[in-house]
Amino acid sequence: MTTFNYETDFELSDEVALETWVEMIISNKGFEPGEINFIFCDDEYLHRLNVEFLQHDTLTDVISFDNSLGKLISGDIFISVERVKENASDFNVTFDEELHRVMIHGILHFLGFKDKTPEDEKLMRQEENNALSLLNN
């Protein structure tokens, strides 16, 4: 089950469609959706988590905490709505496109995709684009 939680003045416009999309991506990769929580917050909230849990004193758009067991995908994905807005502007894409990219980025990490090397980052980007194309159909 996918849930959406809000720690800031923001709400998704179509939670049901996004839940269906996220769970379809998980299933398409041969995994089973478990308990997935998206938490939408501001920069300050996510910065505190980044410092406390990852010892990174930087702003970021997404942090994911993976609680998956085997093929059952579960975890918490924290997203800074402020970072997404700024990144959408920087990358010249819509807010929704950037938000959906960040959401699925967290899910892809749970599915085993990495982004630390240029090769991994390229594969992650391809997987994000594939997932986004399924949402936009």
pLDDT range class, residue 136, cuts 50, 70, 90: low
Residues 23 and 2: their CA atoms lie apart, in Å, by 8
Name the binding residues. 105, 109, 115
* Residue 136 phi, psi (nearest 5): -85, 0
**pLDDT (tens digit, 9 = 90+) per residue, 59-109?**
899 999 999 999 999 999 999 999 999 999 999 999 999 999 999 999 999
pTM for the structure as a whole: 0.94
**pLDDT (tens digit, 9 = 90+) per residue, 13-36?**
999 999 999 999 999 999 999 999
Residues ≥6 apart with Cβ < 8 Å to 95: 84, 85, 88
* CATH homologous superfamily for the domain 2-135: Metalloproteases ("zincins"), catalytic domain (3.40.390.30)
Name the binding residues for Zn(2+). 105, 109, 115
What are the CA-CA distances from residue 121 to residues 8, 16, 26, 93 (Å)? 30, 29, 19, 19
Domain ranges of the chain: 2-135
Q: Which residues of 50-77 are buried (b: 16+ CB within 10 A; e: fewer)?
A: beeeeeeeeebbbbbbeebeeeebbbbb
Tokens representing 16 are 């049901």
Tokens representing 52 are 């406390």
